């Protein structure tokens, strides 16, 4: 059980999760009367031990330095501080400093969790800050966020930086940083930097979205952690717009991580009198179970506290985009639906091109009414046919965008982000709607609410195919830069309203592939589109990085045609299915061109996925061998340990040799297990043998794969 213990006399606040503790302290230092200092992150301790640790945490003072640098949980710009601030303000009289006093604390016990709020108030200005923490029963993630309030009645206070928090790291001789990087078609690639340099390492998105290029997650260890053992501290920011994570290693050997929304120079955000602004959640966890242990904690956290309907098993979907592109109509979609249903698909999704004058990517975006030339009687007859075939119906939308060649843009050219006297640059022939405007957000909601109310739609694929450029708001001269935050706030409001009005409709987050994947959007999305790159071999790399933080239950994976449109790689249908079966299975190929033998094999593989998807989507994941090692092996085990599924992929064989036996994880050494499936001899083996020796697999040649069942007898 999680708990929060407080020792007011010593200014100590102890946050305990199931297996870990995080200790913060309000204390006086030579540089500040009241500073919020982090003193411990690690295995469980009690208040007395926390007090001992605080007494031992005495920084060495050296000339031209501050004893606060690298130690604070919420550093402010002001006083004797020289590091990155979590809060930087400019008061109406030009003063650029915060000098706060501790004003008290509150502990709230809720169902399944506990919240600590620490209040601070500026000594001379009407600025109030609350730093908050939350711990949940049954897990080890600690959440934090901050509120800032302008208590004045006159002028606005400029916020030049307002982070969710700072995390001082345990003192170690070295700090290795793991993070995710990428680009379109190559998202969530894992990179480990051997030792963080003294100075500041910045992970960021300046694009208005989470971005293809980076993801708001990090993991730090001392360079010795492995997949299965070692101390790891990791963190994630729940925000779907521009963001920044700074890993700071100080000259005195300390390290600290700051995380928050907005990129550098995004503002200022002008906080109006009486206004309160709340940051997104910055969550962190400590584990001694290595990178795999950290991932499993994050997966459990996502399923328990982030994803809506997390225990709901997601259906097998078919998406028509790669089969028809923009050349679609009711008859072509019905023919595809018939073939998809025959394979065992449970959800049929019509992609781009069903609305307005959208016959290419040059026109129609923003006109969310059915194209009557393609669907003369609306979507109703197609939906009815899809239902007759035993499938639910889904649809693609891109509501935050507009083509200049559209009814919407001709009526409201002022509704896009732009600067006066500057070119409105297009990407993919489209511009970004100013969702920060409440009237635009309300309009988008009404369009989608009408679409869902008038049609029996069970699934919405919400896309966003370009980042912000010319991010200006000429109509808001007083606070134009709030658009970076308000766009996301209004996006969340629209999704929340839609989920309330249409509670049975599932939503998938897509942004040109994986440019909007984070815990902020996952709190509202049933799943996410991981990448536009559906090459099965590349996907193993992308999905490996994705799994560092996000669970398989949220990861949409498609089987598409070969040669792959992006890589031109040609691999077997079985290999493509196996790669896609490690998440939420989808099919996106042109079924009208599949050979009868391929259709028959696909039918068998879809049926096999349905038998194991509860284990894959809701089970515990173990990365046994990573891409780039020659063999990629991923294991999923059911909650009761009775059923394990193993996927293994050979990237390239040499001299006809088989890879080394794969050692399975988390099995009962004394139990017996029946092993069956591809590339193995069906037999019973002990858990000790499957872990100690490993399971030999008959894998040979390039891009071979197997799916193995391991069931407790």
Give the residue numbers annotated as catalytic, written as ranges. 463, 532
Q: In what order do the strands lie in the sheet with 643-650?
A: 620-625, 631-637, 643-650, 704-712, 672-677, 683-686
Q: Which of 589, 599, 559, 565 is nearest to 322 (CA)?
A: 589
Alpha-carbon span 610 to 316, nearest angstrom: 8
Q: What 8-state DSSP symbol labels residue 197?
A: P
Closest CA to 51 of 16, 105, 9, 92: 9
Q: How many angstroms from the chain centroid is the CA of residue 500?
A: 22
Q: List, in order, residues 6 or more apart from 485 with CB less than 8 Å away.
A: 241, 261, 262, 269, 277, 436
Residue 609 main-chain phi, psi, to 5 deg = -60, -40
Q: In 585-621, which positions are buried (b, 16+ CB within 10 angstroms) versus exposed (e)? A: bbbbbebeebeeeeeebbeebbebbeebbebbbbbbb
What DSSP element (H or E) covers 551?
Answer: none
Tokens of 508: 């998938």
- 448-453 contact pairs (CB < 8 A, 24+): 448/368, 448/397, 448/399, 448/494, 448/498, 449/497, 449/498, 449/501, 449/502, 451/368, 451/395, 451/397, 452/498, 452/501, 452/502, 452/505, 453/501, 453/502
Q: How far apart are CA 643 and CA 709, in angstroms?
A: 7
What is residue 303's DSSP assignment?
Answer: I
Helix or strand or coil: residue 205?
strand
- What span, in angstroms and rounded, lies between the C-alpha atoms of 93 and 703? 66
> Which residue has tokens 């600025």?
127
Give φ, ψ of 578 to 5 degrees: -60, -40
What is the dihedral sign for C-alpha 395, 400, 403, 409?
positive
The DSSP code sequence of 567-622 is T-----HHHHHHHHTTSEEEE-S-GGG--HHHHHHHHHHHHHHHHHHHHHHHSEEE
User: Which residue intervals of 249-406 are DSSP H helices?
Assistant: 290-301, 321-324, 330-343, 380-388
Integer Cα distance of 190 and 291 in angstroms: 12
Cis omega (within 30 of 0) on the bond before 506?
no
Give the C-alpha separation, 493 to 597, whole Å: 47
Supply φ then ψ for residue 112, to 5 degrees. Answer: 85, 5
d(CA 394, CA 329): 15
């Amino acid at each position: 059980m999680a708990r929060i213990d407080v020792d007011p006399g010593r200014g100590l606040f102890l946050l305990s999760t199931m297996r870990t503790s995080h200790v913060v302290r309000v204390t006086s230092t030579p540089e500040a009367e009241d500073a919020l200092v982090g003193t411990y992150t690690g295995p469980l301790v009690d208040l007395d031990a926390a007090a001992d640790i605080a007494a031992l945490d005495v920084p060495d003072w050296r000339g031209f330095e501050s004893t606060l640098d690298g130690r604070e949980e919420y550093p402010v710009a002001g006083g004797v501080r020289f590091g990155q601030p979590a809060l930087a303000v400019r008061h109406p009289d030009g003063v650029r400093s915060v000098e706060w006093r501790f004003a008290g604390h509150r502990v709230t016990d809720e169902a399944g969790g506990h919240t600590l709020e620490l209040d601070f108030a500026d000594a001379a200005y009407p600025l109030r800050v609350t730093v908050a923490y939350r711990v949940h029963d049954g897990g080890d993630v600690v959440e934090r966020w901050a509120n800032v309030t302008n208590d004045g009645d006159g002028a606005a206070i400029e916020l030049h930086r307002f982070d969710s928090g700072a995390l001082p790291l345990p003192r170690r001789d070295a700090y290795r940083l793991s993070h995710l990087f990428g680009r379109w078609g190559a998202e969530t690639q894992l990179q480990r930097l051997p030792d963080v340099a003294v100075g500041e390492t910045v992970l960021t998105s300046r694009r208005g979205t989470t971005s293809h290029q980076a993801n708001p997650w990090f993991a730090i260890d001392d360079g010795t952690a492995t997949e299965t053992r070692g101390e790891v501290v990791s963190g994630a920011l729940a925000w779907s717009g521009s963001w920044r994570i700074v890993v700071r290693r100080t000259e005195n050997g300390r390290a600290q991580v700051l995380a928050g929304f907005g990129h550098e120079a995004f503002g200022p955000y002008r906080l109006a009198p009486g206004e309160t602004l709340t940051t997104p959640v910055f969550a962190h966890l400590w584990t001694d179970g290595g990178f795999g242990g950290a991932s499993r904690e994050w997966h459990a956290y996502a399923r328990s506290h982030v994803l809506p309907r997390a225990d709901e098993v997601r259906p097998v979907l078919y998406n028509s985009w790669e089969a028809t592109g923009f050349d679609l109509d009711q008859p072509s979609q019905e023919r595809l639906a018939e073939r998809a249903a025959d394979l065992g698909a449970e959800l049929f999704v019509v992609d781009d091109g069903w609305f307005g004058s959208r016959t290419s990517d040059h026109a129609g975006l923003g006109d969310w009414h059915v194209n009557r030339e393609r669907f003369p009687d609306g979507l109703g007859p197609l939906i009815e046919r899809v239902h007759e075939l035993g499938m639910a119906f889904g649809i693609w939308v891109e509501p935050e965008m507009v083509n200049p060649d559209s009814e919407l843009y001709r009526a409201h050219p002022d509704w896009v982000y732009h600067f006066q006297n500057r070119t409105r640059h297009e990407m993919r022939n489209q511009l970004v709607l100013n969702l920060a405007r409440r009237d635009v957000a309300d309009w988008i909601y009404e369009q989608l609410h009408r679409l869902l109310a008038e049609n029996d739609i069970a699934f919405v694929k919400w896309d966003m195919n370009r980042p912000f450029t010319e991010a200006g708001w000429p109509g808001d001269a007083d606070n134009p830069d709030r658009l970076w935050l308000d766009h996301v706030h209004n996006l969340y409001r629209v999704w929340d309203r839609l989920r309330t009005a249409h509670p049975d409709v599932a939503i998938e987050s897509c942004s040109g592939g994986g440019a909007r994947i984070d815990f902020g959007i996952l709190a509202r999305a049933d799943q996410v589109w991981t990448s536009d790159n559906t090459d099965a071999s590349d996907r193993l790399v992308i999905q490996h990085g994705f799994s560092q933080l996000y669970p398989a239950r949220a990861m949409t994976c498609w089987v598409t045609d070969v040669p792959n449109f992006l890589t031109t790689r040609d691999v077997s249908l079985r290999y493509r299915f196996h790669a896609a079966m490690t998440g939420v299975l989808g099919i996106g190929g042109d079924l009208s061109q599949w050979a009868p033998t391929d259709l028959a094999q696909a039918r068998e593989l879809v049926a096999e996925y349905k038998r194991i998807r509860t284990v894959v989507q809701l089970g515990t994941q173990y990365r046994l061998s990573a891409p780039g090692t020659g063999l990629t092996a991923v294991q999923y085990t059911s909650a009761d340990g009775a059923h394990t599924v193993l996927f293994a992929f050979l990237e390239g064989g040499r001299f006809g040799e088989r890879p080394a036996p794969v050692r399975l994880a988390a099995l009962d050494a004394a139990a017996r297990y029946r092993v069956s499936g591809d590339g193995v001899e069906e037999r019973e083996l002990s858990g000790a043998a499957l872990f100690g020796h490993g399971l030999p697999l008959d894998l040979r040649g390039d891009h071979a794969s197997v799916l193995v069942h391991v069931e407790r007898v």
